[in-house]
Amino acid sequence: MAVSVTHITQISSESLLESLLADCRSFLPRCDEQLVRKAFHFCVEAHKESVRASGEPYYTHPVEVARIVARDIALDDISVAAALLHDVIEDTDFTLQDIQAEFGSTIADIVDSVTKISGIAENQTITTAETYRKLLLSLIRDVRAILVKLADRLHNMRTIEALPPERRIQIARETLDIYAPFAHRLGLANLKWELEDLAFKVLNPEAYFSLAQALQESRVEREAYIQKVISPIERHLRQHGLRFEITGRPKNLYSIYQKTVVRGKPLEEIYDLFAIRIILDTEDSNECYFAYGLVTQLFTPIPERFKDFIAVPKKNGYRSLHTTVIGPEGRPVEIQIRTRSMHEIAERGVAAHFRYKAAQGVAPAWNDDPELEEWIQWVRELFEKRSREEAAQEFLESLPLNLYQDEIYVFTPKGELKRLPKGATPLDFAFAIHTEIGHHCIGAKVNGRIVPLTYKLQTGDQVEILTSKHQAPSRDWEHIVVTHKAKSYIRRYLNEQRRLKQQEGQQALEKRLRKLHLAVSDEELERVARALKYENRAALFYAIGIGTISPELVINLLRRDSSASPEASSSCLPSLEQVAEIARQQASGVEIVGTPTDGTPLLYSYARCCNPIPGDEIVGIITIGSGLRVHRQTCKTIQDMLQNNHPRLVPLRWGNVAGEEFIAALRITGDDRPGMLHDITKAIVACDRTNIRSVNIDSYGGLFEGVVTLYVRNTEHLGRIIEKLRKIHGVHTVVRFESP
């Protein structure tokens, strides 16, 4: 049994090859039959295991597609071979590399494009024709790929009965919305009509069949009428020596149906159901005008219906004269007049164009042919629609040779298509969906796998954004995104945050000032801001808002500013005493366990000169009235007492201080460069989320000196911060600040 089936397959496949070759011979200007044979056998071999929904061997489909390419598009043997191979990558074990090795990169490239269209466009539910078209164009590098794809679609439409109803409707919809208009724009009139009628039949079978029946019933009457118009024209033109063919064929059902719907008229009242076409056997386009003159001697033309597409061709290359004349019984009749070559282009569009070039002995060059450029120019016009929302400049910049390379097309989990510039990341995608999604984006899954936010999206990726309500844009994001939308939103958000922090800082300062019953003018604030190296008081408020400096420091400086002499105020570095005083207001007390104590609470305070923190070797001095004053053992003010083993000294050690924070100060020197203050505060905050109490920087002669006070847990914590600060570019010294 198996043997005989193979045998039957063999016979029918051989006869299919012969029909295909016959088509190639009669329609193609030139054909490398070896190439077509080779592609045919490769196709039959590759698909030998599978069958179509109709039960036929699968290879019958690519072969039929190849026949459509040969007959209805009639371009070249390359596109016929590509049509034979168009489903090999998708449906068989053979790879793109196999095709490349066997048939070269031109054919492989076309097959690759067609495969991508099938793989991406058809496995997603694409919501609008517009996006589908964009996607299609982004996947094509060779015009022939779209021609093969159109032929593929036509054959699928011809055999659509084998599919389940829902699938039929989806494919028909797509055909009507995308492929038929594409065929039209490419000038493939016959393909367009057939695609439309086949889709019409699926989508509205009732209207289709009743219209077909009505046309059938009125056929005899209609044909008789056409004859009444054609006969006199035929005689008249021949008398004047013209050689031509004249036909009167009805238009396709779908366009008639549209007319009945659009005009709201019954079929009987629509007279331009057919067009009479005169095809002149000449290369001289002047004869078209001559023929037009002769026709108007017989029938009165309607002047406003005259269209000269010879002098001004349509964008898809269509050339012809159109006129509507008043025929017998006063009915309007449309007449089209064109030469044979104009007719070929009208029927086969872009393909015929290249065919003529090939016939003239010029191989269709796809890259540097000026006439091809015209066609490509037209393809580019499609892109104008796409770029309408973009700045004209951006469009112009993206034009030249990277038509398909500048953009990527990606999908939402629901299959909605999003167009993004090349290099776009999941963050761009998130902002493209909704600013709120962008705002809270913490990551993304691409094709089901988690990727970093910096991942560069690829056409066809399906992207799912992961969000968290705690997430918010940060400065880094500006470098991750490429789209204008995302960039401007992130900037807007950061500016708004800055404004809020500034407001907080201002309110905090004003609250303290009110408590102290101090009135401060804007000028005074500006002066303090400048003294602290801030651009203006807004920047000062911001620094307070984010905790870089404290309101107390500002108040301190304001007081000093108003009371001190001009010389004194020229240096704005507060003394350690001032700094420590400020610190003391918020520092938490700790229990210090000294050797001589027996559990009785100890009255103590920290020495202002050295600000001890846990980890420091400490010593206490007994004072009159204020208990123990705690010093670091290294503190200069007590060195004499230590050496003399003064009786008022008490050895101390730290008790349990876990979780407590202590004030420490650092003196930093280095090069005064832009961004230095930012780098310093960033390094500190980044280290265990250390809180900065204040920062004061004074600069002179290209150098700066600054004092930073901060909250630390112990000496180890402080040591880590010092290490970080020393690594900053341009920082010379970082030392713990002690009194001189």
Longest CA–CA span in the chain (Å) reads 141
Least separation in angstroms between CB 135 and Mn ion: 18
Least separation in angstroms between CB 52 and Mn ion: 10
Reported in sequence order, the residue ranges of 331-432 that DSSP labels E, i.e. its strands, are 332-339, 407-411, 417-421
157 vs 665 by CB, closer to Mn ion: 157
Least separation in angstroms between CB 41 and Mn ion: 18
Least separation in angstroms between CB 144 and Mn ion: 15
107 vs 410 by CB, closer to Mn ion: 107
152 vs 196 by CB, closer to Mn ion: 152
Spot the catalytic one: 32, 56, 91, 308.
91
Least separation in angstroms between CB 141 and Mn ion: 19
68 vs 635 by CB, closer to Mn ion: 68
| Interaction between residue 197 and Mn ion (CB under 5 A) | no
Of 545, 557, 548, residue with least CA distance to 507: 545
Least separation in angstroms between CB 119 and Mn ion: 12
Helix, strand and coil in the chain, % to nearest 5: 55, 15, 30
Least separation in angstroms between CB 351 and Mn ion: 19
Spot the catalytic one: 14, 18, 45, 90.
90
89 and 115 in contact (C-beta within 8 Å)?
yes
62 vs 574 by CB, closer to Mn ion: 62
Which residues in the 679-718 window bind Mn ion by CB under 5 A? none
551 and 544 in contact (C-beta within 8 Å)?
yes
152 vs 461 by CB, closer to Mn ion: 152
Least separation in angstroms between CB 155 and Mn ion: 7
Tell me the one-letter amino acid at 487. K
Of 599, 488, 550, residue with least CA distance to 707: 550
> CA-CA distances (angstroms) from residue 304 to 106, 285, 322, 323, 711?
47, 22, 11, 9, 87
Task: Tell how many helices (H) and how many strands (E) occur in the chain.
Answer: 30, 20
87 vs 174 by CB, closer to Mn ion: 87
408 and 458 in contact (C-beta within 8 Å)?
yes
Active site residue 142: no
Least separation in angstroms between CB 458 and Mn ion: 24
DSSP 311-346: TS--TT----EEEEEE-GGG-EEEEEEEEHHHHHHH
159 vs 190 by CB, closer to Mn ion: 159
663 and 616 in contact (C-beta within 8 Å)?
no
What is the helix (H) or strand (E) element at residue 509, kind and residue range? helix 484-515
162 vs 568 by CB, closer to Mn ion: 162
| Interaction between residue 87 and Mn ion (CB under 5 A) | yes
Reported residue count of the chain is 740
Least separation in angstroms between CB 179 and Mn ion: 13
Q: In what order do the strands lie in the sheet with 692-700?
A: 692-700, 703-712, 662-671, 731-736
Q: Which residue is nearest to Mn ion (CB)?
A: 152
Least separation in angstroms between CB 6 and Mn ion: 24
552 and 578 in contact (C-beta within 8 Å)?
no
Q: What is the dihedral of CA 182, 188, 190, 192, to 10 degrees?
A: 10
Q: Rounded distance, CA 239 to CA 219, Å?
A: 30
* Binding map of Mn ion across residues 146-165, x = CB under 5 A, - = no contact: ------x-------------
Q: Are strands 628-632 and 604-606 parallel, antiparallel or unpaired?
A: parallel
- CA 722, distance to chain mean position in Å, is 44
Total residues binding Mn ion (CB under 5 A): 2
Stretch that binds Mn ion, among 86-94, 137-145, 300-308, 364-372 (CB under 5 A): 86-94
The encoded tokens of residue 260 equal 């009945």
Burial of 520 (0-12, 13-18, 19+ CB in 10 A): middle
23 vs 87 by CB, closer to Mn ion: 87
Burial of 387 (0-12, 13-18, 19+ CB in 10 A): middle
152 vs 616 by CB, closer to Mn ion: 152
77 and 36 in contact (C-beta within 8 Å)?
yes
Q: Rounded distance, CA 330 to CA 422, Å?
A: 60
Stretch that binds Mn ion, among 79-87, 170-178, 321-329, 342-350 (CB under 5 A): 79-87
Stretch that binds Mn ion, among 145-153, 415-423, 547-555, 613-621 (CB under 5 A): 145-153
85 vs 721 by CB, closer to Mn ion: 85
Least separation in angstroms between CB 91 and Mn ion: 8
CB atoms within 10 A of CB 262: 8
Q: What is the 3-state secondary structure (H, E, C) of 529-583?
A: HHHCCCCCHHHHHHHHHCCCCCHHHHHHHHHHHHHCCCCHHHCCCCCHHHHHHHH
DSSP label at residue 446:
E
Stretch that binds Mn ion, among 21-29, 144-152, 507-515, 592-600 (CB under 5 A): 144-152
| Interaction between residue 64 and Mn ion (CB under 5 A) | no
Active site residue 98: no
> CA-CA distances (angstroms) from residue 221 to 215, 227, 228, 247, 699?
10, 10, 11, 16, 101
615 and 715 in contact (C-beta within 8 Å)?
yes
Stretch that binds Mn ion, among 32-40, 80-88, 167-175, 556-564 (CB under 5 A): 80-88
Q: Rounded distance, CA 563 to CA 578, Å?
A: 15
**What is the set of active-site residues?**
90-91
Query: Which residues would be at the binding site for Mn ion (CB under 5 A)?
Result: 87, 152
